[in-house]
Structure 1
Amino acid sequence: DTHYEWSETDILSHGFSGLSLHRQDSLTQRPLASLKRTGSKGSAYSLRSMRKEMPKPTTQIERPPTIPDAGFGTLEIKLAYENATSSLAVTVLRARGLIGMDMTGLSDPFCRLEVLPREGSYSNRLRTKTVHKTKNPEFNETLHFFGITESDLAVKSLEIVLFDDDRYGCDEMGSATVALRECAKSPAQLRLALSGSSGAEPTGPRILLALCYSTKRRALVVTICRGADLPPQDSNGYSDPFVKLHLDPDPYHKKHKTSIKWRNLNPVWNEEFLFETRPTELSRQNLTLTVWDKDYGKPNDFLGSLVLGASSKGRRLKHWMDCIKFPDHRHESWHSLTDTQHL
């Protein structure tokens, strides 16, 4: 993994101006004009237009039917229905122009497919492989849905959601929905515009967290605000949640813990904790939170975790970098909890 460092002076004086989630290589930029020597020795150079060197228009290549592009990129798929086996074959070909999710401006995308509406509680979700470190993945993978009748083609649709694969949680990158009637008569190849809402609040088990780097206290101030929709672990249908948090690496080896909120799935803490550190160190550190259900006489039940740092992605990365880029300001954001336990 590439290691990034920033000077403390840059961070505090210039607002982390050197930091960008998107990278542009100036070496790849092509000049629009070239220089031509004119006149006698010692005379000036003049610009020579390159228009004469422009290639001639080529024959237009036929492309699949297109929906106008959106800011979340596009996805190209093939649909084919087999009446004899009552099966739907979906070939996920490629995606283009996906949003960047990590520090390098790249992503690790995969697709989750589902035929909707569902039949009762049965879910027929399928997923593709993950293609790493790209915004233009080539999937070329065919997935099959069985038990799809001809009548289903008229009323059902295929939902495709793209996620960024991450061991700390998968962030949604965009989605598209296509009616199955598109392939009722013959196979169809489509290029779909992905839609989404980058500012949408997470759902499911989640935690509201506030970060602030205090230049006066020379510390990261972490406020555990509240939790929502935590999973019940006790026989009474509730949990007794509390949060553990630590910074890693931390030369002071500080570990903090909130109070316990009894019989509560939507706890409110509003408790503040300090970690002594520098802005330059924050670019190499991770903040780890784990949420637990308090039990007596047996081990506490794990409810979820959250990791924020420069190696995070999406919403978590933005929250962490905003804290570094804009010190002495409170930065508050909801984050989904993952079921991966971090020590």
Structure 2
Amino acid sequence: MKNGTVDHVPVFLELLISLASIVSVVIFVLLCGLCDCFSGKKQAEKQFLFDDEERGPERKSASVRPMKRTPMLTRKTIKFERPDKKPAVASIQPNVGAAGSKNGLGEFPLDPFSGMDQDLVLMEDQEESLGRIQFSLHYNFTEQTLILKIIRAQDLPAKDLSGTSDPFVKILLLPNKKSKMETKVKKKKLNPTWHETFLFEGFPYNKLQERILHLQVLDYDKFSRNDAIGEVNIPLCDVELAKETTYWKSLLPSKKSAGKLGDILFSIMYVPSQGQLTIVVMKCRNLQAKDFTGKSDPYVKIWHMYKGKRVEKKKTTVKKCTLNPVFNEEFVFDVNLDKIRDTSFIISVLDRDRISKNDIIGSVLIGHKTSPLEMKHWNEMFAKARQPIAQWHLLKDMS
């Protein structure tokens, strides 16, 4: 108030000041809210980490769980030798365990079977025993008659899937092949007894000296050709015929069928505690050619048999255009200990044919009641449990 008068502040100036104050308050409130939000978020993160540390590592990683690795079921391939190498021809030596050793398998590592207790045992590469035959010879000078008595045979190989054979003996006086005589067939026998007598009449003694007595043991087959087991040839000039003499002769492979199908090398191992039998098909040699090219496309098929019935089948891969394929493929079969005596395996080599039916080249029957060589391999597997036992086997015509 001056000289009795009153000074008035302009109304718009008061409004401007009030508006500025309100804007300042609003900005301050917004800034405080943002600060509180930021600080709260950091505190929450700290509290989360603190809680994780208190709850342990299992809670800390609960939000991200690692993926479990599921074991893949693959078929192992054990490389005893490289397929592109020329097959070794050295004989197999038993109990070879040194790394880099060479034998019928070629080169192999010290422990080719991971998880197995001991090294691979290689049985000697030997020819299969075909058994032997007992007979007697005597010449009657008065009647000019050769008297032959077929007595028995022992340890004949099994030719049938039942693990037995139906043997009989065919008799010839070579070089004459037209006049033949035969014994009776003995059903399901590997040690047959005949005691049958045969007479060759009207043969002067000097002429008889030029003849060869041919004895061939065969397995009788009702529906197909009889299968030769083995034979023996006796030049009569080397035999004392004046008195009756009894002989034992080992049977030799028939010239028409010896080694014509080829051989297969495989190992077997049994683990009684796990009830598992493992077969490793390694390789074949000198297989019979089935294609017009003079080669074959071989693969191996394994039938698991129980009491003569087929239970399970497994196969290898096909090897193209070869007569000496290398497989080295492993197959595991479940065989409980209480069933092992009635268990057997048919291991067959076949030629793959895309157009027609696959041809069987040859087979091997291995088990408790089989041929002597196969039975020896089988028994060796039990004598050395948890240890792979390898053996060469002659392929046979079991069709």
Change over 3 Å in CA distance of 1:149–1:222 after alignment to 2:
farther
Query: Against the structure 1 CA distance between its residues 297 and 141, is the aligned structure 2 distance closer, same or farther, given a 3 Å change threshold?
Result: same
How far has the Cα of 1:311 moved from its partner?
2.6
Asked if 1:180 is matched to 2:236, the reply is: yes
Corresponding residue of 1:157: 212
Q: TM-score of the superposition, structure 1-length normalised?
A: 0.57
Deviation at 1:287, TM superposition (A): 0.6
Residue 138 of structure 1: aligned partner: 194
Partner of 2:302: 245
Is residue 268–residue 388 contact of structure 2 (8 Å, CA) maintained in 1?
yes
> Are the counterparts in 2 of residues 128 and 139 from structure 1 also a CA contact under 8 Å?
no
1:236 counterpart (293, 309, 320):
293
Q: CA deviation at 1:248?
A: 1.8
2:71 corresponding residue in structure 1: none
What is the aligned length? 252
Whole-angstrom distance in 2 between the partners of 1:94 and 1:149 = 25
CA contact (8 A) 2:132 2:156 kept: no
- Residue 176 of structure 1 contacts residue 192 of structure 1 at CA under 8 Å; is this kept in 2? no
Task: Tell me whether 1:266 sits opposite 2:321 in the alignment.
Answer: no
TM-score (norm 2): 0.50
RMSD: 4.6
Is 1:75 the equivalent of 2:132? no
Q: 1:277 is aligned with what amino acid?
A: V
CA distance in 2, matches of 1:126, 1:268: 45
1:191 is aligned to 246
CA shift in 2, pair 1:72/1:245, >3 Å: closer
- Read off the aligned partner of 1:178 and give its amino acid letter: I
Aligned 8 A contact 2:300 2:316 in 1: yes
- Higher helix proportion (structure 1 or 2): 2
Instruction: Quote how far apart the aligned CAs of 1:101 are.
Output: 6.9
- Shift of residue 182 of structure 1? 6.7
Contact 1:77 1:190 survives alignment (8 Å) = yes
CA change 1:215–1:77 in 2 (3 A) is same
Q: CA deviation at 1:246?
A: 2.2
1:298 shift after superposition:
1.9
Deviations 1:221-279 (A, max 9, x none): 10112223322111111111111112123999542111112122222222211101123
| 1:87-236 equivalences in 2 (<5 Å) | 91-95=148-152, 98-99=154-155, 110-113=168-171, 127-131=182-186, 133=189, 135=191, 137-142=193-198, 153-160=208-215, 177-181=233-237, 189-195=244-250, 203-205=259-261, 206-215=263-272, 217-236=274-293
Q: What's the % identity of the aligned pairs?
A: 22
Partner of 1:335: 393
Q: What is the distance in 1 between the residues matched to 2:182 and 2:313? A: 38
The corresponding residue for 1:284 is 342
In structure 1, the partner of 2:47 is: none
Tell me, which stretches of 5 or more residues in structure 2 are unaligned?
A: 1-130, 159-163, 253-257
Larger radius of gyration: 2
For the residues of structure 2 that align with 1:130 and 1:227, how far apart are their CA atoms? Answer: 34
Question: Is the CA contact (8 Å cut-off) linking 2:168 and 2:185 kept in structure 1?
Answer: yes
Cα separation, 1, equivalents of 2:229 and 2:337 = 26
Specify whether residues 306 and 100 from structure 1 end up closer, same or farther in structure 2 by C-alpha distance, changes over 3 A only. Answer: closer
In structure 2, the partner of 1:5 is: none
Aligned residue type for 2:363: S
C-alpha contact (below 8 Å) 1:169/1:338 kept by paired residues: no
In the TM superposition, residue 196 of structure 1 has moved relative to its aligned partner by 6.2
With CA pairs under 8 Å and 6+ residues apart, which has the higher RCO, 1 or 2? Answer: 1
Distance change (3 Å), C-alpha of 1:134 and 1:188? farther
- 1:300 and 2:358 equivalent? yes
- Mark the CA change 1:101 to 1:290 in structure 2 (over 3 Å): closer, same or farther: closer
Amino acid at match of 1:327: A
3-state SS of 1:210 partner: strand
Contact 1:110-1:165 within 8 A present in 2 as well: yes
Structure 1 residue 334: deviation in Å? 2.4
> Which amino acid letter does the alignment assign opposite residue 230 of structure 1?
L
1:288-335 Cα shifts (integer Å, max 9, x gaps): 122211111222112122222223232222222322343112222222
Output the CA distance in 1 between the equivalents of 2:296 and 2:206.
45
Go from structure 1 to structure 2 and tell me whether the alpha carbon gap of 1:339 and 1:155 turns closer, same or farther (over 3 Å shift).
same
C-alpha separation between the residues in 1 aligned to 2:310 and 2:386? 22
Q: For residues 24-82 of structure 1, what are the alpha-carbon distances to aligned partners after superposition, in whole Å with 9 as ceiling and x for unaligned? A: xxxxxxxxxxxxxxxxxxxxxxxxxxxxxxxxxxxxxxxxxxxxxxx96742245689x
Residue equivalent to 2:60: none
Q: 1:246 to 1:138 in 2, by over 3 A?
A: closer
- Tell me the distance in 2 between the aligned counterparts of 1:241 and 1:149: 54
Partners of 2:377 and 2:221 in 1: how far apart?
17
Give 3-state SS (helix, strand or coil) of 2:373's partner: helix
